[in-house]
Structure 1
Amino acid sequence: MDFSNINFLAVLVGGILAFAFGALWYSPVLFSKAWQAEVGLSEDDIKGANMAKIFGTSLLLMLVMSLGMAIMLRGHDEGEITTVTGLMHGLYVGVMFVATSVGINILYQRRSVKLFLIDAGYQVIMLMIMGAIIGAWA
């Protein structure tokens, strides 16, 4: 694996923007109340959580995911990668691997289609953001 083709600034920005998008996606502006109801968390549950641990670990995991996207897109240096190809790779990985995995978990947990759409929708768009940024800076 040749890491010389990896733009680590793009990896960092991709992970941070995916995290920021999650803050919007799971905010009161979009899906926080619906998500909270679907997973059965009360306001007290939310207030009692260790948010520094949750947010910090989430950001770290998103940075790892962004690095994985960069390795997939650039680690083999097989042709030109653009914003659009990065976006499309994010879509493919999001739909064909991540959303399907989320869907399987939702089925076994006997959760709703609504929760699947919220959680898988975020994951797909997040990966598209990462892919587009890494592709743009390739």
Structure 2
Amino acid sequence: MLVNPWAFVVATIIMLPIGFIWYNPKVFGTIWMREAGIIPDPAQKGNMLKIFALTLLFAFMANMLLQTIVVHQMGAMSLIGGAMKADSAKPSYTAFMADYADAYRTFKHGALHGCLTGIFLGLPIAGTSALFEKKSWKYILINSGYWVVCLTLMGGILCSWQ
């Protein structure tokens, strides 16, 4: 196993506190609501349990992909057919992992790849949807910025916590 399960859990959950801060009215919340056309009405609250549960599910899904991007050793593991086949792999795999199992396993390296994933995957996805929804650049940058920050921290956690 190349990613610590606790790192995976923390990297998944971290999206919630980042969202609480990012979309707080004192940070970007007021601007985001205005740009999204949301009028805060205390009488109309969404199903917060459903929203948070789906947020965690989506974060889990993002981490499934992100771990393969930030932990380079997963590429070597995929070449042998996954962790289940590590015992039957050729000696070259064992030698490679002995030499490089900890290479580039730092917070800084994972954060770099997480940030690049946010910029080159999160921004285009959020931006394209927002353009067709006829949203402003402020809206695009606030939502994409959230994903860049989340993926940066998630990548750092996944990569460094062994």
TM-score normalised per structure 2 = 0.76
Q: Distance in 2 between matches of 1:45 and 1:67?
A: 36
Q: Which of the numbers 6, 11, 15 marks the counterpart of 1:14?
A: 11
Q: CA deviation at 1:60?
A: 1.9
Residue identity matched to 1:70: Q
Contact between 1:12 and 1:66, CA under 8 Å: does it hold in 2?
no
Residue identity matched to 2:132: Y
Residue 51 (structure 2) aligns with: 54
Q: Distance in 2 between matches of 1:89 and 1:57?
A: 25
Look at both structures and tell me which one has the larger radius of gyration over its CA atoms.
Answer: 2
Matched, 1:91 2:90: no
Residue identity matched to 1:127: L
Q: Distance in 1 between matches of 2:44 and 2:8?
A: 31
Q: Which of the numbers 9, 18, 25 marks the counterpart of 1:28?
A: 25
Residue identity matched to 1:52: L
Structure with the largest fraction of helix: 1
Residue 76 (structure 1) aligns with: 75
Q: How many residues align?
A: 135
TM-score normalised per structure 1 = 0.88
Q: Distance in 2 between matches of 1:90 and 1:134?
A: 10
Report the aligned-residue RMSD: 1.8
Q: Which runs of 5+ in 2 are unaligned?
A: 77-99
Q: For 1:111, what is the secondary structure of its paired residue?
A: coil
Q: 1:46 to 1:103 in 2, by over 3 A?
A: farther
CA deviation map 1:41-67 (0-9, x unaligned): 112278421111111111221122123
Q: 1:37 to 1:26 in 2, by over 3 A?
A: same
1:39-50 superposed matches below 5 A: 39-44=36-41, 47-50=44-47
Contact between 1:18 and 1:129, CA under 8 Å: does it hold in 2?
no
Q: Distance in 1 between matches of 2:51 and 2:138?
A: 23
Q: 1:115 to 1:46 in 2, by over 3 A?
A: farther
Residue identity matched to 2:153: I
Q: CA deviation at 1:117?
A: 0.9
Q: Which runs of 5+ in 1 are unaligned?
A: none
